[in-house]
Amino acid sequence: MSHLAVSARLDALFEELVARNPGEPEFHQAAREVLDSLAPMLAGSAEYLVPGLLERFIEPERQIMFRVPWTDDHGAVHVNRGFRVEFSSALGPYKGGLRFHPTVNLGVIHFLAFEQVLKNALTGLAIGGGKGGSDFDPKGRSDMEIMRFCQSFMTELYRHVGRETDVPAGDIGVGGREIGYLFGQYKRITDRFEAGVLTGKGIGWGGAQVRTEATGYGLVLFVEEMLRTRGRSLDGLTVSVSGSGNVAIHAAEKAEQLGATVTTASDSSGWVHDTAGIDVPLLKQVKLVDRARISAYAKARPTATFHTKGSVWDVPAQVALPCATQNELDDAQAKTLANHGCLIVAEGANMPTTLEGTQVLMDAGVLFAPGKAANAGGVAVSALEMQQNAARESWTFEESESRLGTVMRDIYRLCREEAQFLGRPDDLVLGANAAGFRRVADAMLAQGVV
């Protein structure tokens, strides 16, 4: 089929997707990016154009929405919504995080689950894709309130998950504390210590070394591999990071371990610029222990300044790592990065760059690493945690980090080789989407119409 005919079919498929999923702009954006980039591959791969395959690829296998009632410390009853989208089990049990944030709705979870399918496929590990969460906001809530919410959430979710069915992990708003409460409730309801039902657990009860660091570390290891294939390294480069959560902090930590200077961090209240380089232990204290705003970092650090206007992308850097949230880097900011001589933009968050921003970067010759490839380290170590749980083993930090590095290097090579095969060697968006789709689609074809 000609490229023009394939594009027409994909356009019609996208129009149908929008009509069936109204009011879900994040999912529409993610699907548009993937479908557009698949056209060159599909034009030369007739086996993937069989009736119904693409339609099944973009339609989740199951979508679950439920109410989550819970009581605060003053006895008031609140009701939130819970979600789980089990998108594809072609390669293994559904795998993907839970996000607790007031912006969560079905469309956001839909988009995250769709991206997760391709991300998980790129790891080469036997995991499908899913995502879940709630519009519950953990900020300002006591430990007891969070525990009661998590127990109520799991009281419904437990019937949909299991180590061979669906294995959730953490995401924004869901860390070790929340995973602990969720696991405890699952154990209470089912009367089973099924360690493999959740990942991101505590080290002492089935968790994996490096899981906390995995997404941020993996992101930087991916960037280092991009540079290595071009005869360079992170040593001596300036790096800008957005966000100050788990991913951003550990990306900064690994970048500095490799000799880079990280100069920025941010949260919803503003951002800081530290001319001496981010003090990672101080940032951890402020954000992970004290749970304070990023301005507290600037108050404690003489070389740092706090800003409420502009963004971290105004600061010149050779490497930019957006690690906050979706669509935080638009076309205007992308132009600023390119004009300042940025070499690489690698996504630590899920879809943090707008479609227009991505195009600006690629047109300017900035190497761009999409999140489904660059931030796959978290789910990769989650899958390794599942392996350890199944074998009742526990690996050292060094062994786990070594395996993480292998996975990230393999993902980069896979994406680059796929892009080269399709005639666009530096287009990692094409490479990631095509390689991930190929793995999922091959499994779908082998398993029949299910």
Of 85, 52, 45, the residue nearest 66 (C-alpha): 85
Instruction: Say what angle helices 397-421 and 377-391 make with each other, to 10 degrees.
Output: 130
Phi, psi at residue 50, to the nearest 5°? Answer: -60, 145
Q: How far apart are the first and last CA of the chain?
A: 26
Q: How many CA atoms are closer than 13 Å to the CA of 280, on its beta-carbon side?
A: 18
Of 400, 300, 439, 370, the residue nearest 37 (C-alpha): 370
131 is catalytic: yes
| Residue 398 in tokens | 């060094």
pLDDT in tens, the chain (450 residues): 787 899 999 999 999 999 999 999 999 999 999 999 999 999 989 899 999 999 999 999 999 999 999 999 999 999 999 999 999 999 999 999 999 999 999 999 999 999 999 999 999 999 999 999 999 999 999 999 999 999 999 999 999 999 999 999 999 999 999 999 999 999 999 999 999 999 999 999 999 999 999 999 999 999 999 999 999 999 999 999 999 999 999 999 999 999 999 999 999 999 999 999 999 999 999 999 998 999 999 999 999 999 999 999 999 999 999 999 889 999 999 999 999 999 999 999 999 999 999 999 999 999 999 999 999 999 999 999 999 999 999 999 999 999 999 999 999 999 999 999 999 989 999 999 999 999 999 999 999 999
Which residues share a beta bridge with 86?
62, 130
Cα 113 off chain centre by: 10
Q: Which residue out of 95, 131, 254, 372 is catalytically annotated? A: 131
